[in-house]
Amino acid sequence: MDPYNQYPPQQPGGYQPQDPNVMYNISYMPGTQQQNIYVPNTTSYNTNVYYPSNDPPLTNNAQVPSYLPNYNVQPSHHHHSQEYELQQNTNNNDNTTVPPPITEDVTRQQHPTHEYPPGYIESGPKAPSEGANRQSSQMSVNDIALTSKTTFTKKNDEDMTDIYGTQFICNAKHDNQESLWESGFFGLNVFAQGKKKRLQEISEMNRVESTDQLGKNQAKEHVQHHKKYTVMRTAKGQPYLLKTGLGLDEIKEVQNEFSSIRLRFCCKWKEIEDHFGLGVRLYFDFGRLIIILNALLLFFQLINFIPHLVIDSIYIETFSNFFKGEFSNYGGLIDILYGSSYSPQLYWLWVATNILCIVATLGFGPLYWFIVRRSFQKRDVYDMEEHDLAEAFDRDADIIKENLSTTRWHRLGRYFVSYSLFILFMLISCAITVGFTILQNFTTIYEAADAVFSQNTLYLTLISIAISVVIGLVNFLWKKICISLTNFEKHHTWSGYRSHNTFKYLFFKLFNVFFMGFTKGLFNVPCVIRTLGNQYLIQMLLDFLVFNAIELVVPYVSYFISKRRNKGSDEGVRPDFDVSEEYLEVIYRQYLIYSGMASFPMITLIALVASILELYLDKWRLVKLCKKPPMTNGSVKTVVSFFLTCSAVLPILNWGGGNVYPMVGVYWCNTPNNLECEPCRVLNGAEYYIDNFVNMMYGYS
């Protein structure tokens, strides 16, 4: 089907092709409103003019639409060149008309000798003179591809396939390269040789979504006058743009064929952008920025950790004895990693470096927003974020039509039920965490009386593992439950759907970790720093190694089984790669790092390794396992920056398990001096004992 020939003229006439046997070059540059230029269909004698759905068909006597810019066609070189470039016409005369129809003499149409560009293109003070036209080229407007940035040449190429059903285009010159829309304009090198490349081209042209990078100053005008795209949604409400005039069967067919094209794992990031769109590329750029941030945090923590290894010789001896099969009563190999083992001489260095880390985490969110904004400015591209798509392209696309029948009061009732269940799940998770924490403290420490910490490390660690496993399982199940609750709410718009789902999903996960740290600090004995460090170490390792492995293995097994059952295309059974969810997973992991870096400085080392592995694991999932996500050209910088800032602020506010609490020494509970860690001695004094909050509650003294 020819999407550009949906609105043929209502009566004979209009602009007819001059040479139906020749293919011509064309460029679609939204930044220059190039879609306004009427292009002849070179595959037949019928007029093939792109009429936007809101525009009346042109007839012989119709005027050029008012939004159509006037252009001059100039030779790109002045010496008998057949290359032309477009210059804007400064003539404000709007009373120009489409040229009269060509006669029905087909022979004469096929052999034009003295046809000139029509007046509405040629007119203007810079237009070439009639003599210049006759002497330099004697070419018709059909021979000229109009663009403001690129010069094209006419060339016969019978090997070209008909990518639109209109056989538009041949090779094009663009910066001395034989490719059209280079530099990622459509995210492709068009006209590449080979079946796979051509299939990729067809897919992307039919499923451009938002890879048409609209110039930021022309985006609104383009949207108003050219209904070229419509906003579509994934099953989870993620918006993307789809070219109009295409049937769903055509789209599915192209998607299925495209699934056979897979990038190499070692492909460059630019290839990721070309194949999957700028939106996916921005996620991987975000992952690389996270690696830089974690490397910076590790650098700050090494400033205090290396002197700790040098000064605290007892831990160096412990480290040596570990390989000799000996184990000190005062601590083990893991104890070296916690802030509780730092010498009092290093207290202020420990505090200063952690303050630097906190400042870096607070500044990263706004910095990321600025970096993405600057990136789009350099590209001179309009950043079409999710909330902008429906507003700019199609407001009706934001409405969930199947939920229109739901009344306002009915919807409010559903909200009440959904958020009641949301709070109930949070309370259940918190109750389990509190129960395990109390069990950890009373059964292990107080039954051991004055026993030192290391003798009970095994019990403490097992209970800490149980807490982390419970939190991880609840988070894993919540991911499925959250979507069901959001669907139950019957939202009126997709933007509301996405906002509510994102809030419930991420807030639940952050609150679980927040409350875990709070209860550890509130009921903690014998040392708040050591216990917090131990808990965050276990949580980080389990979250990255175990639950990431589950999220990778389960979809792969499901895909393998479904593929064996279905003999056709496997694109429909592949797992999704939701960029928005990937952002949230990274932010959640960063929150763990920010919360634990004061009590466990070397969590930043684990974070650096985990962020590198996560980046390439996601790359492997994208190119080898998951189905091709909708290609988006806009960022999600506002939402991501907001949650990055929240993940940095919450650990500061968590007075019990955050990154400021361990450094100030104003703890909920204090323990006998022989169990206190060194920072506690510095702040509270070695000769004083303040009654433990838990002791007072349960009558211990």
Residue 255 has what pLDDT? 53
Would the pLDDT of 687 be above 80?
no
The 10 Å CB-count burial string (b at 16+, else e) for 303-338 is: ebbebbeeebeebeebeeeeeeeeebeebbebbbbb
pLDDT band at 695 (very low <50, low <70, confident <90, very high): very low
Q: What is the mean pLDDT of residues 127-156?
A: 35
Does residue 161 have a pLDDT over 60?
no
Q: Which residue has the higher pLDDT, 482 or 177?
A: 482
What's the whole-number mean pLDDT along residues 184-203? 36
Give me the pLDDT at residue 536, please: 87
Distance, in Å, from the CA atom of 467 to the CA atom of 439, rounded to the nearest integer, reads 11
Question: With contact defined as beta carbons under 8 Å apart, do 186 and 212 qualify?
Answer: yes
- Determine how β-strand 177-178 pairs with β-strand 173-174: antiparallel
Q: What is the pLDDT of residue 233?
A: 57
Most confident of the following: 65-79, 82-96, 198-212, 549-563: 549-563
Kindly report whether the peptide bond that precedes residue 526 is cis, defined as omega within 30 degrees of 0. yes
Among the ranges given (211-220, 425-434, 541-550, 643-652), the one the predictor scored with the smallest mean pLDDT: 211-220
Q: What is the pLDDT of residues 307-332, one digit of tens each?
A: 888 876 655 555 555 554 444 444 45
pLDDT tens-place string over residues 610-664? 999 999 989 988 888 887 777 677 788 888 999 999 999 999 988 778 888 777 7
Separation CA 457–CA 478 (nearest Å): 31
Domains of the chain, residue spans = 1-180, 278-698
Q: What is the pLDDT of residue 212?
A: 41
How far is the C-alpha of 33 from the C-alpha of 9, rounded, in Å?
22
80, pLDDT greater than 50 = no
With 80 as the cut, is the pLDDT of residue 378 above it?
yes
Indicate the helix (H) or strand (E) that contains 240.
Answer: strand 239-243
Query: Helices 347-379 & 579-596, crossing angle to 10 degrees?
Result: 160
Strands (E), 29-164: 71-75, 84-88
**pLDDT score at 416:** 93
pLDDT of residue 516: 82
User: What pLDDT is recorded for position 474?
Assistant: 85
232 versus 519: the higher-pLDDT residue is 519
Distances (CA, A) of 220 to 168, 186, 416: 27, 19, 39
> Which residues have a Cβ under 8 Å from the Cβ of 292 and sit 6 or more positions away?
none
What is the four-CA torsion angle of 535, 541, 543, 549, rounded to 10 degrees?
-160
Burial degree of 227 (CB within 10 A; 0-12, 13-18, 19+): middle
Selection from 87-101, 186-200, 381-395, 499-513 with the highest mean pLDDT: 499-513
* Whole-number pLDDT of residue 209: 36
